[in-house]
């Protein structure tokens, strides 16, 4: 109970001072990571966390499922732009190329390491999560299509990566058990069944919510509860029938997105707020992981790999994939640089740790902590200079970038 009181007090204080702290570039991720480092240290910490408990594993899985559902509902928001913002290239070309490049760079930095382990590390650190640059998505000095490209990429990349991530983890965890073909079939079977479950529940929920709203049986405010319940329901159902709960939640979000936005502008507000609270808990957990992992120092190779993941492995594939589009060089560079890392990487790492042997788990946690912590600092510090860069560019070449008064969607998962 004391630990629960401490966490609730921290949330309450953040709600009171968040506006002031963000002016000083102290974001929610920074605050909760530091709090996690301080409050979970020592033999008798103020907030004890048992990362090996089965309930913790289930909680982590639910967090990711809710986030994937939220991600899937975001893409519809930018349809009003009327044209592509490069999302096809970012997700279909840059994302797999980044993961492959990160794996190769890992082989150079950590020679002799198992390739499956390097692949897991790459899939942990490469998905984009925009919490460290949440303010960037609201900054009107930045071209709207740049913000849209980053937001859509960040919304969809973890859903696309999760099946491959689980497959690579399974290969490590059962290296002396199931054959490669059996693991591949299990992943395919789970994903295929998840598509069915997600489609049935997401599509069915969309139809029911739409007709309940049109017939006047339910008020829009009451339907917010239905939107909140849906990702939990989908994940639980998928788990019971043996499907991939992450893929099911993501697919359900895709089916539900149009109806959710059509019923009311804030229909997804409640699920966003609950997801934000979940994200705070994940950032707090990162604080404990970082404090424990780096208690005796951090390896130079781990830092180097984190820097390469944030720069070369991200920047080169993104800029190359957008070549030949109408994105000017400055916009391609901004999209390539501002690929922040956050809750997705933390959750993937925690899921890997639960299933992997201790040495492999320690490796994954180390590279994840280093990469995400550096992302918080580097991307958090540089988002303002990048925005000013666009502002100067607009002054010297007026009319060369999209303008307008629309501020874009609700910022995606500001707690992340």
Phi and psi of 68, rounded to 5°? -65, -40
Is the pLDDT at 169 greater than 90? The verdict is no
pLDDT tens across 56-78, in order? 778 888 888 898 888 788 765 55
Coil/strand/helix, residue 130: coil
Positive or negative torsion for Cα 212, 216, 218, 222:
positive
Q: Of 320, 300, 322, 323, which Cα lies nearest the Cα of 370?
A: 300
Lowest mean pLDDT among 81-90, 173-182, 350-359, 371-380: 173-182
pLDDT tens across 8-53, in order? 888 888 888 877 777 776 778 888 888 888 888 877 787 777 777 6
Is the pLDDT at 241 greater than 80? The verdict is yes
DSSP 411: P
Residue 231 is predicted with a pLDDT of 94
The span from the CA of 166 to the CA of 179, in Å, is: 15
The span from the CA of 107 to the CA of 114, in Å, is: 9
> How many CB atoms neighbour CB 95 within 10 A?
22
Q: DSSP labels for 23-59?
A: HTT--HHHHHHHHHHHHT-SSS-SS---TTSHHHHHH
* Burial class for 312, CB neighbours closer than 10 Å (0-12, 13-18, 19+): middle
Is the pLDDT at 212 greater than 80? The verdict is yes
When pLDDT is cut at 50, 70 and 90, the band that residue 216 belongs to is confident
When pLDDT is cut at 50, 70 and 90, the band that residue 101 belongs to is very high
| In-domain check, residue 204 | yes
* Structural tokens at position 336: 């390539």
When pLDDT is cut at 50, 70 and 90, the band that residue 88 belongs to is confident
CATH number for the domain that contains residue 87: 1.20.1530.20
Is the pLDDT at 82 greater than 60? The verdict is no
| In-domain check, residue 255 | yes
Q: What is the dihedral of CA 287, 290, 293, 294, to 10 degrees?
A: -130
> How many CB atoms neighbour CB 76 within 10 A?
18
When pLDDT is cut at 50, 70 and 90, the band that residue 83 belongs to is low
Residue 401 is predicted with a pLDDT of 47
- 47 membership: H or E segment, kind and range: none
- Percentage of residues in the chain with pLDDT exceeding 70? 88
Q: Is the pTM of this model over 0.85?
A: no
Lowest mean pLDDT among 83-87, 244-248, 297-301: 83-87
| In-domain check, residue 6 | yes
Please calculate the CA angle 266-143-31 and round it to the nearest 5 degrees. Answer: 60
Please calculate the CA angle 332-338-339 and round it to the nearest 5 degrees. Answer: 105
When pLDDT is cut at 50, 70 and 90, the band that residue 122 belongs to is very high
When pLDDT is cut at 50, 70 and 90, the band that residue 2 belongs to is low
| In-domain check, residue 192 | yes
| In-domain check, residue 237 | yes
**Segments forming the whole domain that contains residue 190:** 2-396
When pLDDT is cut at 50, 70 and 90, the band that residue 409 belongs to is very low
Highest mean pLDDT range out of 199-203, 257-261, 380-384? 199-203
| In-domain check, residue 409 | no
* Structural tokens at position 298: 């951090």
* Burial class for 208, CB neighbours closer than 10 Å (0-12, 13-18, 19+): middle
| In-domain check, residue 412 | no
pLDDT tens across 272-329, in order? 888 888 888 888 888 988 988 888 888 999 999 999 999 999 999 999 999 988 888 8
Phi and psi of 322, rounded to 5°? -90, 0
> Is the distance from CB of 121 to CB of 367 less than 8 angstroms?
yes
Residue 407 is predicted with a pLDDT of 42
The mean pLDDT value for 147-153 works out to 86
Residue 178 is predicted with a pLDDT of 58
Is the pLDDT at 363 greater than 80? The verdict is yes
Instruction: Quote the number of domains for the chain.
Output: 1
């Amino acid at each position: 109970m004391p630990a629960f009181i401490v966490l609730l007090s921290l949330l309450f204080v953040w709600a009171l001072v968040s506006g002031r702290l963000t002016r000083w570039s102290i974001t929610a991720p920074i605050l909760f990571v530091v709090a996690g480092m301080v409050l979970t240290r020592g033999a008798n910490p103020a907030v004890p966390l048992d990362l090996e408990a089965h309930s913790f594993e289930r909680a982590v899985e639910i967090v990711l499922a809710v986030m994937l559902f939220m991600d899937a509902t975001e893409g519809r928001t930018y349809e009003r732009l009327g044209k592509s913002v490069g999302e096809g290239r970012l997700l279909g070309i840059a994302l797999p190329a980044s993961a492959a490049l990160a794996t190769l760079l890992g082989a150079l930095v950590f020679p002799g390491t198992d390739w499956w382990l390097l692949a897991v590390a790459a899939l942990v650190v490469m998905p984009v999560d925009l919490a460290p640059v949440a303010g960037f998505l609201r900054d009107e000095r930045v071209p709207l299509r740049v913000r849209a490209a980053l937001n859509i990429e960040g919304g969809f990349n973890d859903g696309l990566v999760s099946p491959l991530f689980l497959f690579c983890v399974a290969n490590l965890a059962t290296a002396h058990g199931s054959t490669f073909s059996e693991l591949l079939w299990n992943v395919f079977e789970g994903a295929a069944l998840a598509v069915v479950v997600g489609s049935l529940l997401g599509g069915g929920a969309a139809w029911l919510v739409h007709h309940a709203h049109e017939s006047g049986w339910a008020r829009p405010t009451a339907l917010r509860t239905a939107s909140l319940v849906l990702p939990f329901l989908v994940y639980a159902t998928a788990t019971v029938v043996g499907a991939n709960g992450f893929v099911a939640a993501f697919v359900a979000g895709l089916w539900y997105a149009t109806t959710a936005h059509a019923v009311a502008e804030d229909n997804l507000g409640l699920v966003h707020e609950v997801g934000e609270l979940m994200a705070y808990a994940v950032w707090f957990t990162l604080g404990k992981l970082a404090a424990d992992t780096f208690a005796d120092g951090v390896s130079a190779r781990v830092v180097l790999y984190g820097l390469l993941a944030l720069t070369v492995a991200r920047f080169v594939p993104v800029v190359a994939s957008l070549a030949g589009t109408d994105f000017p060089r400055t916009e391609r560079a901004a999209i390539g640089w501002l690929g922040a890392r956050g809750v997705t990487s933390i959750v993937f790492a925690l899921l890997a740790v639960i299933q992997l042997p201790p040495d492999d788990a320690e490796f994954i946690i180390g590279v994840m902590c280093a990469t995400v912590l550096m992302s918080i600092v580097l991307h958090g510090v540089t988002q303002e200079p990048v925005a000013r860069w666009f502002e100067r560019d607009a002054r010297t070449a007026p009319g060369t970038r999209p303008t307008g008064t629309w501020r874009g969607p609700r910022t995606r998962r500001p707690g992340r």
